[in-house]
Amino acid sequence: MRQMSESATNGVRYTSEQYFRLAEKGIIDPDERVELLEGLIVTTSPHSPRHASATTRVYETLRRAVAGRAVIRVQLPLVCGTHSAPEPDIAVVSGTPADYDLEHPQAALLVVEIADSSLLEDRLTKAHIYAAASVPEYWIVNLRADLVEVFRTPDSTRGGYQERRAAEWGDELDLLTFPQARVSVTELLPRGRK
């Protein structure tokens, strides 16, 4: 489970604007692994080999599937409202890389989190944040169960997804915002545990 930074444990709720100002001023080190979730600065865990492999697999698979029709960002900020700037493992955003030269994206077409120790947080906190930000499709690559949890049809007022399903080895997933794009769950999952 993630641990909150010192500032978060003091009950301070930051806006995304304040959070990025802390980084600009050097108060948050650029190499510090943190993200802003619902106003709290939260530290992130180091990546296991399976987590790193899954991140690479998802990136490569989605890069082929969207073929230049969108930008695929890896572990970079996505501004999701006033108090959240998570750094999803993968975010597929519209436009070109140049569109984000001066500001982080504020919308995504698809967000993917790779989950092992962060599974509960990804299902609850992150799902709430992404649904509230109207991200149309959210996947959790669940390394514990070796499957992909698919969340669709966000309800931004309630901060949840109306449609949820599990996709297993051999299943295929259509990308909602790219009707011709389809990926195999097998391409997204790393080999099993030792």
Q: Would you say residue 14 lies in a domain?
A: no
pLDDT for 42 beyond 90: yes
| Span 97-143, pLDDT tens digits | 999 999 999 999 999 999 998 999 999 999 999 999 999 999 999 99
Instruction: Tell me the percentage of the chain whose pLDDT exceeds 90.
Output: 79
Could you give the number of structural domains in the chain? 1
For residue 7, being part of any structural domain is answered with no
Enclosing domain of residue 111: 47-188
User: Per the structure block, which two tokens stand in for 125?
Assistant: 């906190």
Residue at 19 is within a domain: no
The answer to whether residue 144 is domain-embedded is yes
* Residue-wise DSSP of 139-189: EEEETTTTEEEEEEEEETTTTEEEEEEEE-TT-EEEETTEEEEEEEHHHHS
Burial of residue 16 (CB within 10 Å: 0-12, 13-18, 19+) is buried
Handedness of CA 91, 189, 34, 75 (dihedral sign): negative
Q: Higher confidence at residue 5 or residue 75?
A: 75
CATH code of 158's domain: 3.90.1570.10
